[in-house]
Amino acid sequence: MEACIFDLDGTLTDTLESLAYSVKATLLEMGLEEITTDECRRFVGNGARRLMECALEAAGDKTGSRIDEGMEIYGRIFDANCTYHVTPYDGIPQMITRLRAVGLKLAVLSNKPHVQTVKVVREIFGDDIFDCVQGQMEGLKRKPDPEGVYKVLERLHTEKEDCLYIGDSEVDVQTACNAGITCIGAAWGFRSREILADAGAEHIIDMPEELLQYV
């Protein structure tokens, strides 16, 4: 292997509190019912708009008529709070150090908006750890479309056969499948081992250090 592409939320970093805080603050400002943190966990993975669509529906906006309003408010609140209580999962910093030590190229590909993806990576890991950081932006199809994977591979100058994709959700498994790249399911994140297996993940690990056996 020459490279690893990582999902961000639920894979490298525990961002659930920042996401739940921003969603709940958005719903409060809109005068809608509060939803639970566990509901937020289930809604994460398909980008900010899908997160808010699900949150608004759960909070009482059954027709989705307020999605544009919700996105404007959520974007403002989340931009100010995207690193709120965000931490790397246990073992992630040590794993990254070892991967870098053996010369692997490292990248992040997230459905989180690009600006906030860069903010979180910079805040938690610094500017010199990852060779490529790519979040969701206009003109780039979100996961599970493979376009983001191909863009990252091009920037890494790496073939898909020489790269692993690591993620914690069924969206990540499908992304890797669509891109024709080997996927490693991260069972410590927002989804269970069972959900990853049902999504078709052939390789699932329970601790970050287990990734080393694949590289």
Other beta carbons within 10 Å of 28: 14
Q: Which of 7, 14, 61, 172 is catalytic?
A: 7
CA pair distance 167, 173, nearest whole angstrom: 7
| Phi–psi pair at 142, nearest 5 degrees | -80, 155
Q: Token digits for 21? A: 């805080």
Strands 163-167 and 87-88: unpaired
Q: How far is CA 114 from CA 108, 111, 117, 119, in A?
A: 11, 8, 5, 9
| CB-neighbour burial class of residue 197 (10 A; exposed 0-12, middle 13-18, buried 19+) | middle
79 catalytic? Reply is: no
Active site residues: 7
